[in-house]
Chain A
Amino acid sequence: MGRTLFEKIWQHHLVEELDDGAALIYIDRVFLHERTGSIALKSLEADNRQVVSPEHVFCTMDHIVDTVVGRDDNTKVPSGKNFILATREACIDANIKLFDVNDPQQGIVHVVSPELGIVQPGATLVCPDSHTCSQGALGALAWGIGSSEAEHALATKTLRVSKPKTMKVNFNGELGFGVSAKDMILHLIGAYSAAGGAGYVIEFAGSAVEALDIEGRLTLCNMAVEFSAFSGLVAPDEKAIAYLKGREYAPKGDLWQQAVAFWQSLFSDEQAQFDKTIEIDCADISPTITWGNSPQHACSVNSLVPSAQAGATQNQLKAFYRAYEYMDLQPGTALKGLPIGAAFIGSCTNSRISDLRLAAKVLKGRKVADNVNAICVPGSTTVKRQAEAEGLDKIFIEAGFEWREAGCSMCFFAGGESFGYRQRVVTSTNRNFESRQGPETRSHLASPATVAASAIAGCIADVREYL
């Protein structure tokens, strides 16, 4: 019987089956950031434990650091500076490579790791950050963990893991005009719920996934956690190999040849059995947006706010009513045309160069509507420099967008900057949870192209009318 891609990676990293039924899995790379990594490193030190392979550990400043031009260690997040200082000190003490505040390679962990070739096909990578699943786009087994598990990985080079079940999600056919990876993943979660992937590691496959570039696959895998999956991944193909070639931490010379030969063996065998398979017809996917307070509240931009489904349980009904109340929407209201106060392009989901190019295509020669606070935060300093070399910054600025330094920024509200009380924002981020982007902020998740179109329109818009 054939093996799945996940099964192959699992076997390569299996140190031992433990008596208690879990497995001891070897961890190739650990990534940290200043929000949760600082606590893990500090706690490890307090327990008198060592980072066993610091050469395999990387850290970046992304969560707390300000994204305003001219930033330093001071942040608008109350007491945020403490996280930055503690992280820097701990990284120096443990001899960990840090992409510091004004390092030319600084940026969001899940943007930096692929663009520097730190994550590689067939490797295991963990980070105390739930969106670590993004990095499965390169055929790695990458997943988010808590701080305590990060300590475990740092101190032992392993994790004790209970093996997840396997799911394959096939995106069949071709994406329609104006539809992108973000719409694919929102569509999936909308159709199968925010708990639909619970207990599974998901392999994304099918013609539409094969057709995506690596950055699109990073977006797709990014939201596997919003589907409640253990992680998501895509089998590495020639695109993945071409993407990694020449990147700073990618193998070089003979090692590159050896690595490529190995990477080419990383796919699910034809006979491989998955515990579950979902088929999606891409013809059914429109530009998609969320209307409620969970990523599962996703539908076409041309839809009406849905009514509570027939047959819903009492708890599900409560969730619908709460979502209507929180978002200040009634069932039957058209989403397209709903006035917005803010537009945000950024986050580990959609802040890469291809995202910015697409948004710029929509923005070029147009102006952001009055009263819309529009902000673009590139995912990394490398992305920012590239965008500036292409003149994209000028397009954003001329359209009326603020152009920022790299970081997580207003993907989440930590007591510093926010879009304002009950502000309605169209956002290229991954979470529309209550108060995620500010006090009682009403977040609508969408692709960066949809965000750009909505910023111009001053209301939720169908990007196809702007391309």
Chain B
Amino acid sequence: MDKFTVHQGVAAPMLQINIDTDAIIPSREMKLVSKQGLGEGLFAGWRYTLPNGREPSADFVLNQAQYKNTSILLAGDNFGCGSSREHAVWALKEFGIKAVIAPGFGSIFYHNCIRNGILPVVLSNDEVLALASHVDKDPQACKVNINLLECYVSAFNTDHQSTELEATDSVNETLRFSFSILPAQQTMLLEGLDGIALTLKSKSNIASFKQAYQQQYPWLA
């Protein structure tokens, strides 16, 4: 799995609350028995002018030139609620989204992000709005920086088009918010761990648990 440590990128606001996974990837766009081929269907209902078309809708934020190369979404509360479809995360990833910042997430979506190397950051509504209004000045220049090692999000006023992380010079920093994430999830992302491989290290422990469990609850054996 891809590791996530630090990332700086263009952030786009999608501040509506309750953006569900049906909106992120409509079921009609899930055409293959595969984790691939989903980027084009991302936000298809809003992104294209017609339900089955591919004509970009000018109104949709990710179609606008100033949000080119967006890699961070600034979202409203309960982002990713609804269907468990991991396709929503696979579609975001294929499109190039590395992180989503929101006041809250759908629980299954949140875990699907962790499993796929996308960082879900929980900030307060006011903090997300502050980032959005900062970005709004010039999205390409006013990039957002996310540091998972130290668990903070920051934004700068950069006149130069720097993509280097040296740009995290605190002198230029205008916004800085810390966030919390459970250690289990932080480690998984920082190290790009495969959960199954990790759990299989406990194989013998699971086997002995299973044996005792099946004796205690034989009707479930």
Q: Are A415 and B78 in contact (CB under 8 A)?
A: no
CB neighbours of B77 from chain A (8 A): 195, 315
Per the bound structure, the CA–CA distance linking A122 and B89 in Å amounts to: 31
A18 part of interface (Cβ distance < 8 Å)? yes
Report how far A251 CA is from B217 CA in the complex, Å.
11
- Is there an interface contact between A22 and B182, defined as CB atoms closer than 8 Å? yes
Size of the chain A interface, CB-CB below 8 angstroms: 80
A28: B residues at CB distance < 8 A: 220
Question: What is the minimal beta-carbon distance from A49 to any residue of chain B, in angstroms?
Answer: 7
- Whether the pair A82, B15 counts as a contact (CB closer than 8 A) is no
Which residue of chain B has its CB nearest to the CB of A130?
Answer: B84
Query: Are A146 and B184 closer than 8 Å at their CB atoms?
Result: no
User: B98 → chain A, closest Cβ, in Å?
Assistant: 18
Q: With a CB–CB cut-off of 8 A, which chain A residues contact B178?
A: none
Contact status of A315 and B76, CB under 8 A, knowing A162-B184, A415-B27: yes
Interface set, chain B 162-221, CB cutoff 8 A to A: 182-185, 187-188, 195-196, 198-200, 202-203, 205-206, 209-210, 213, 217-220
How far, in whole Å, are A467 and B22 apart by their CA atoms in the complex?
35
The residue among A18, A20, A28 with the most chain B CB atoms within 10 A of its own CB is A20
- CB-contact partner of B33 in A82, A160, A259, A296, under 8 A: A82
Question: A6-21 CB contact bits vs B (8 Å, 1 = yes)?
Answer: 0000001001101011
- A255 and B220 alpha carbons, distance in the complex (Å): 9
Q: Are A82 and B32 in contact (CB under 8 A)?
A: yes
Interface: B115 (CB within 8 A): yes
Binds A, one of B106-114, B140-148, B153-161: B106-114
Which one, B31, B83, B105, B185, contacts A79 given CB within 8 A? B31
Among candidates B15, B32, B108, B219, residue contacting A315 with C-beta atoms closer than 8 Å: B15
CB distance from B57 to the nearest CB of A (A): 13
Q: Are A435 and B195 in contact (CB under 8 A)?
A: no
Contacts of B107 in A (CB 8 A): 164, 198-199, 228-230
A to B CB contacts below 8 Å, 5 in the list: A26-B209, A39-B34, A123-B220, A145-B111, A146-B115
Instruction: Give the B-binding residues of A (Cβ under 8 A).
Output: 12, 15-16, 18, 20-22, 24, 26, 28, 35-36, 38-39, 42-43, 47, 49, 78-79, 82-83, 86, 120, 122-123, 128-130, 144-149, 151-152, 155-158, 160, 162, 164, 194-195, 198-199, 225-226, 228-230, 251, 255-256, 258-259, 262, 294, 296, 313-316, 318-319, 322, 412-415, 421, 431, 433-436, 439-440
